Amino acid sequence: MADDVAIQSEGIETLHLKVLRRKWQILALQITATISLFSMYIMMTRTYGSCDIIDSTSWCPALDHTLTLSALQQFLVLQPDPLSLPIPNWMTGVGNSGDGRYWMPLFVISILVAGWTILGLQTAKLRRRVNMGILGFALLYLAGLFVITWLIGMIFSFDLYLPFGQIDSNKNHVEYLVGPLLLYIQVFVLVFYFLPVISGLLGIWGMSKSRISWAIGSTIIYLGLHALLSYEGVRSTIELNLSALPVQIGDATEWGGLVAPEIVPLLIISLLLMVFLESGFATIRYVEYAFKLPESCKKDPEYVSQFDNILNVHLQQTVGVSFFVGLVTALALKFDDLIVDLVSVFEGSQWSEQVKESLELQLTYGTVISAMIFVIFIAGLRYIIPWPRISGLIEKGIRQIRDQSV
Amino acid sequence: MWTRKASILGAGGVSLVLVGMMMSNFQMMVFGVAFVAFLAVNSWITGHGDIQVVRTLSADNLYKGDDLYVELEITNPSWRRTQQLEIYDNVPHEMKLRSGLNYMRVNLGPGETTRVRYVLRCPLRGHYSIGPISIRYRDSFNLFSQEMYVDHRSDLIVFPQVREIEEAMVRSRTPKMYTGATTLRTPGPGTEFFSLREYVPGDPFKIINWKAFARTGQLIVNEKCRDAVTDVFILVDSRDISRIGTVLKNPLEVGTVAAASLASYFIKRRDSVALAVYDERLSFLSPDTGDKQYFKILSSLAGVAPKGAMPLQAVTNALSSRFSRGSPVFIISALEGDGTTIPAIRDLAGRGHEVIILSPSSVDFERLVSRIPRTSYEVLKLERQNRLTALAGFGARVIDWMPDVELSQALLQVKMG
């Protein structure tokens, strides 16, 4: 019996953190999450990033940082002593149109996050030094010139004075704060608008669940705010110039006549949100599991092979499930048409007319209730069609064919 | 079962649909329907826990402190993928993982097999059972999970350690206490023929002399010569009071090690060894020799636990008819909390038994876990010394066994004394 029990063996491939960071499945999950995050943000800006009246002077709470930065710039230009924002427009995307407004900030954010991630791999001592250096520089940049000039001014004039409200403009040292403060305000505006991307990227590459949650949370808050501010009741009270989504769903002309054009971006945003959420969290969950394994298990080929299995299946299911969720949602929103068609078979009866009338009204309860009924029907299909068995059968067949070819 | 994530997603989806309907905001409705659709699609691919598990152990019986190698072979016999399956082999908390892990996350395809291997250290004697296997399966997106057990258990016995004491017995200045194995001209368990006698009900069939039966028509059995010098009786005190000390170092633990070592020593010499364990009741193993008896003694010692308060005199009275004349009796006891110790040992010595008392010093064991004031300690030690001296006065050989003294060294005291 004792001979039957083998000790753990050691394979070439291991589950050490350094190896995991370069593992293609982990990288694929991280890249999937990153791409879906970027795509989601761009899609959101296309959907929620426009105002009703677009000209150089108008501002609205749309998801477009250039509107706020332009408004700020105009305010500064109109001052008696004109000022300008320190970060150049080519870097913030101000002045560009369409998606061009976001590419450069997204690129800069990606570079900064990459740097931050690389820093996270360094020793704690180096990390602390860099963090302290950045903080020190930020403080020095903010108040350094102001404090130095003020002190020197007091020393040379042999007088104690406040650095503002002086008749002699050379003694108003507080003006040295304006430049740095403008930079920080500009950075704050950018961080506010790009919070889902910054937080999401830090979460994906820095392996932080809380940051991914922040990304999701901020996205939902933006969507909620837009929905609230574009709500008819609010729009009629406060004029915000926010471009609201059309109230009525048009004809289904997209995806082979399956969905209306107004629905496509929303559907894609929700799908990308789910892909980002699942890929981002999954990466952390799997790496965490592998990290916690004892040394002997990290080298055990059985653990490595099963870890690969888990990752491969996750990747396959991410693709499959995303496709089916999109399809099911699209079909669900189209389901009312099917019911109308079915009901029209009984044309002439009072009941069929009533049903048809209520369902034909777009954006009524009919569309959504029928969609929910369809989704419940799809969920119930698992009791009729054995999906896992079918997929298992296909998998087994593929494996047999592969084995035969080898 | 829905996970928290699925519940939040479901509730969020339905809420978005409802709020969207109230606000006539179709973006909310689309998000809500998409969330619910995500749940619906994922419900197709929930996993299963219909797996076959085979556990192999490196040994069914092992000694305290030994390593146990465990291998779990997990097979998915079904046509479905298990999805994410967490496998946790329940290990007794007394055992420590030395290498590997009794937990694994797998995703087994149809017919696929994997193995979990780990090594356990068994620092405490006892009867143990490894298993059942806890299983939790869930889908890749952690929306639905289910927990279950595979009721597969493997029993094993961890024997007390057996110390080498032969050297200690040999290296004495006095002649050997017992002369070693020679056949006695008395009937009993053995190998050499002794005599024929008539069959009496209860005799095993295997000792019937069939040739004699064929010749005489009467059932006749073969009797064998007894293969032992003497019967050695070992009495182990397993009363509740013997738990004093730490889990690994207490009078009962060291007592079981001593009993196992003595049994091993005498059985190797082909003597017959009897074991009596007394706690709330008396368990007695009749004298016998051989590997089977050795296994019985170790198994019995593996299972002893401190409980009850049976007095020693009740034990000696109960066993008086079973004690062989003049046989040595080893008493392994801390000699605490029992007022009958002195009369019991006086009776045994009076009946001509060689009584050897191996007494773990409970006062010193207690010092391992609690601080005893110096004066109290001195008083307790003095009381103990008086008790031991009184017992020695009745002809018993007494060994005061300190916690940090090896068994072989402690046993030397009896030879020197």
* Number of C-beta neighbours around residue B290 at 10 A: 14
Of B34, B59, B110, the CB nearest to A2: B59
Same-domain check for residues B248 and B373? yes
User: Which pLDDT belongs to residue B168?
Assistant: 53
Average pLDDT of chain B is 87
User: Which pLDDT belongs to residue B414?
Assistant: 63
Q: Is residue A301, in this structure, part of any structural domain at all?
A: yes
Closest chain A C-alpha to B49 CA, distance in angstroms: 13
Question: Tens of pLDDT along B258-314?
Answer: 999 999 988 887 788 999 999 999 999 998 888 999 999 999 999 999 999 999 999
Q: Which of A316, A380, A391, A397 is nearest to B81 (CA)?
A: A391
Between positions 177 and 216 of A, the ones with CB within 8 A of B are none
Q: Is residue A148, in this structure, part of any structural domain at all?
A: no
Q: Is residue A302, in this structure, part of any structural domain at all?
A: yes
Are the Cβ atoms of B27 and A306 closer than 8 angstroms? no
Q: Which helix (H) or strand (E) holds A99?
A: none
For the cut 50, the answer to whether the pLDDT of residue A59 exceeds it is yes
Residue A267: list chain B partners with CB under 8 A.
Answer: 30, 34
Are the Cβ atoms of A375 and B33 closer than 8 angstroms? yes
Q: Which of A339, A406, A367, A304 is nearest to A12 (CA)?
A: A304
A292 touches chain B (CB under 8 A): no
Are the Cβ atoms of B37 and A293 closer than 8 angstroms? no
Same-domain check for residues B277 and B390? yes
Residue B66: list chain A partners with CB under 8 A.
Answer: none
Are the Cβ atoms of B99 and A289 closer than 8 angstroms? no
State the DSSP string of A252-309: --BTTTTB-TTHHHHHHHHHHHHHHHHHHHHHHHHHHHHHHS-HHHHH-HHHHHHHHH
Question: Tens of pLDDT along B140-197?
Answer: 888 999 999 999 999 999 999 998 886 555 433 333 445 444 445 566 666 667 788 8
Number of domains in chain B: 4
Low-confidence residues in chain B, pLDDT < 50 = 170-177, 179-183, 415-417
Whole-angstrom Cα distance, residue A63 to residue A60? 9
Amino acid at A349: S
Domain with residue B291: its CATH number is: 3.40.50.410
Closest chain B C-alpha to A321 CA, distance in angstroms: 7
Closest chain B C-alpha to A165 CA, distance in angstroms: 52
For the cut 70, the answer to whether the pLDDT of residue A10 exceeds it is yes
**Residue A348 — pLDDT band, cuts 50, 70, 90?**
low
Same-domain check for residues B143 and B266? no
Interface test with A, best of B33, B98, B113 (most A CBs within 10 A): B33
Classify the phi-psi angles of B228: left when phi > 0, otherwise alpha if psi is within -120 to 50, otherwise beta.
Answer: beta
Of A5, A231, A247, the CB nearest to B56: A5
Same-domain check for residues B265 and B359? yes
Same-domain check for residues B65 and B134? yes
Are the Cβ atoms of A5 and B116 closer than 8 angstroms? no
Three-state secondary-structure class, residue B129: strand
Same-domain check for residues B194 and B259? no
Same-domain check for residues B100 and B218? no
Same-domain check for residues B79 and B139? yes
Same-domain check for residues B105 and B143? yes
Burial A237-255 (b: 16+ CB within 10 A, else e): eeebbbbbbeeebeebebb
Residue B154: list chain A partners with CB under 8 A.
Answer: none
Of B31, B45, B78, the CB nearest to A317: B45
Whole-angstrom Cα distance, residue A110 to residue A197? 9
What percent of chain B lies above the pLDDT cut of 70? 91
Closest chain B C-alpha to A126 CA, distance in angstroms: 34
State the DSSP string of B132-186: -EEEEEE-TTS-BEEEEEE---EEEEEEPP----HHHHHT-SSPPSS-----EEE
Domain with residue B148: its CATH number is: 2.60.40.10
Residue A395: list chain B partners with CB under 8 A.
Answer: 81, 109-110
Is the CB of residue A144 less than 8 Å from the CB of residue A233?
no
**Tokens 């031991």 map to which residue?**
B388
Same-domain check for residues B297 and B335? yes
Q: Which of B316, B322, B279, B283 is nearest to B299 (CA)?
A: B283
Q: Which of B156, B177, B160, B158 is nearest to B168 (CA)?
A: B177
Whole-angstrom Cα distance, residue B140 to residue A317? 8
Same-domain check for residues B292 and B211? no
Question: Tens of pLDDT along A213-271?
Answer: 999 999 989 888 888 888 777 877 877 778 777 766 777 777 877 788 888 888 999 99
Are the Cβ atoms of B57 and A328 closer than 8 angstroms? no
State the DSSP string of B253-307: HHHHHHHHHHHHHHHHTT-EEEEEEESSSEEEEEEE-SHHHHHHHHHHHHT----
Q: What ipTM did this prediction achieve?
A: 0.85
The range of the structural domain enclosing residue B116 comes to: 52-159
Q: What single-letter DSSP state applies at residue B230?
A: -
| Cis before B132 (ω within 30) | yes
Question: Tens of pLDDT along A152-165?
Answer: 888 888 888 888 87
Same-domain check for residues B277 and B366? yes
Residue B57: list chain A partners with CB under 8 A.
Answer: 1, 5
Q: Is residue A133, in this structure, part of any structural domain at all?
A: no
Number of domains in chain A: 1
Domain final residue, candidates B109, B124, B159: B159
